[in-house]
């Protein structure tokens, strides 16, 4: 454990809601609006934390435990993901499997809580969420396996830290494929536009937002914060692949933060210029991402 290992953790905890703010600002800019303030998500979290929660009589303790356990799972995942060249707090071989597993655990509790409300509407959202993430997970794992193979290490910290300019020169196409696959996974896992529209409420087409309709107050704050952390973590994977090691830690930090905000801007641009895919097309997109990752893995073997 190094002292600089706390940097990824602290930055993730403090700055992750800012990414959502940047995405919203980018979308507003494209639409010609002023948009909400960059810190709007912080204000929302503050407001939600000071509210009381209302629980339906149909729900059991599972509904109350869902958001807390989900947040706990993603907080554990935060300790595993490095930021650029800053190693993660905890690193051991094959920790990327634990990372994928923790994201799965978070989803599992969200789905349980949604099913616990007894609403058929939330059951539908839960079913979609599980279906799409089942397709996105192989893409994530194969992409990470490709990275592991190229970096010759099974730990996320060394994996993302060692992929550098040299790798890009030799295996640029392979890494580019992995990056595109990870980007699609990022959009799908965070319920972003080609897969799901985060702005639609009470629509029959939505996926993630429908599962959290019955949560309110602090519970909903936990869910929003957990979603922001998840976006931050997946963005950190993408950025970690690109940002080179310069040696000077302040420059590294500036580059990584620039990369994170750039990913947020890209997500905002994608949301502004694309329409949401029809629901039957989403599996095709996700299987396509998996195919890209698999092709990268095979090409990387040679």
Partner 1 sequence: MNNTNIILVLVVLTNLKLLGSSRLGASIRVVAMQGVVLGLLPVLAHTNELSLRYAVLAAGTIALKGIVFPWFLFRAVREAEVTREVEPYVGYVTSLLAGVMILAVSFWMCERLPMPETLASSWLAPVAFFSIFAGLFLIVSRKRAVNQVLGFLVLENGVYTFGVGLAPHTSLLVEAGVLLDVFVAVFVMGITIFHINREFDHIETNRLSTLKD
Q: What's the rounded Cα separation, in Å, for the pair 174 and 151?
A: 13
Q: What's the rounded Cα separation, in Å, for the pair 267 and 245?
A: 25
Assess contact for 256 and 15: CB atoms under 8 A.
no
Three-state DSSP class for 83? strand
Query: Binder to partner 1 among 124, 257, 262, 295 (CB under 8 A)?
Result: 295
Toward partner 1, which CB reaches closer, 103 or 136?
136
Toward partner 1, which CB reaches closer, 142 or 234?
142
Among candidate residues 220, 200, 196, 174, the one with its CA nearest the CA of residue 279: 196
Residue 102 CA to its chain's centroid (Å)? 12
Asked whether position 299 contacts partner 1 by CB under 8 A, the answer is yes
Toward partner 1, which CB reaches closer, 60 or 284?
284
Residue 235 CB, nearest approach to partner 1 (Å): 24
Partners of residue 86 on adjacent β-strands: 83
Residue 298 CB, nearest approach to partner 1 (Å): 5
Toward partner 1, which CB reaches closer, 213 or 291?
291
Distances (CA, A) of 181 to 87, 137, 143, 238, 295: 23, 11, 7, 10, 10
Assess contact for 229 and 73: CB atoms under 8 A.
no
Residue 68 CB, nearest approach to partner 1 (Å): 37
Question: Which residues in 52-91 contact partner 1 (CB under 8 A)?
Answer: none
Asked whether position 278 contacts partner 1 by CB under 8 A, the answer is no
Toward partner 1, which CB reaches closer, 68 or 287?
287
Assess contact for 93 and 43: CB atoms under 8 A.
no
Which phi and psi (to 5°) does residue 83 adopt?
A: -120, 105
Asked whether position 166 contacts partner 1 by CB under 8 A, the answer is no
The interface mask with partner 1, positions 177-216, x = CB under 8 A, is: x---------------------------------------
Contacts of 159 (CB under 8 A, 6+ apart): 96, 144, 147, 148, 151, 153
Residue 193 CB, nearest approach to partner 1 (Å): 20
Query: Binder to partner 1 among 173, 201, 205, 274 (CB under 8 A)?
Result: 173
Interface with partner 1 (CB under 8 A), residue total 18
Toward partner 1, which CB reaches closer, 18 or 181?
181
Q: What's the rounded Cα separation, in Å, for the pair 4 and 72?
A: 23
Query: Binder to partner 1 among 49, 172, 199, 248 (CB under 8 A)?
Result: 172
Q: What's the rounded Cα separation, in Å, for the pair 212 and 207?
A: 10
> Candidates 101-109, 112-120, 123-131, 290-298 — which segment interacts with partner 1 by CB under 8 A?
290-298
- How many other CB atoms are there within 10 angstroms of residue 86's CB atom? 24
Interface residues toward partner 1, by CB under 8 A? 169, 172-174, 177, 283-284, 287-288, 290-292, 294-295, 298-299, 301-302
């Amino acid at each position: 454990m190094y002292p600089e290992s706390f940097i990824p953790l602290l930055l993730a905890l403090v700055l992750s809601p800012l990414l959502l703010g940047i995405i919203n600002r980018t979308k507003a800019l494209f639409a010609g609006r002023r948009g909400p303030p960059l810190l709007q998500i912080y204000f929302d979290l503050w407001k939600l934390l000071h509210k009381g929660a209302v629980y339906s009589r149909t729900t059991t303790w599972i509904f109350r435990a869902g958001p807390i356990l989900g947040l706990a799972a993603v907080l554990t995942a935060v300790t595993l993901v490095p930021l650029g060249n800053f190693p993660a707090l905890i690193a051991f071989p094959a920790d990327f499997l634990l990372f994928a597993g923790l994201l799965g655990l978070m989803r599992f509790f969200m789905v349980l809580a949604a099913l616990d409300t007894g609403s058929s509407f939330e059951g539908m959202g839960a079913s979609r969420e599980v279906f799409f993430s089942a397709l996105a997970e192989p893409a994530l794992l194969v992409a990470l396996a490709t990275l592991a193979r190229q970096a010759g290490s099974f730990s996320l910290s060394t994996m993302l830290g060692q992929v550098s300019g040299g790798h890009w020169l030799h295996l640029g196409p392979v890494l580019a494929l992995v990056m595109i696959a990870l980007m699609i996974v990022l959009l799908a896992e965070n319920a972003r536009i080609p897969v799901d529209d985060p702005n639609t409420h009470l629509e029959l087409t939505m996926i993630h937002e429908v599962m959290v309709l019955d949560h309110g107050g602090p519970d909903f704050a936990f869910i929003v914060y957990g979603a922001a952390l998840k976006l931050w973590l997946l963005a950190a994977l993408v950025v970690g692949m690109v940002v080179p090691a310069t040696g000077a830690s302040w420059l590294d930090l500036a580059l990584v933060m620039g990369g994170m905000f750039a990913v947020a801007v890209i997500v905002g641009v994608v949301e502004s210029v694309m329409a949401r895919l029809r629901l039957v097309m989403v599996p095709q997109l996700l299987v396509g991402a998996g195919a890209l990752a698999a092709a990268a893995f095979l090409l990387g073997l040679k």
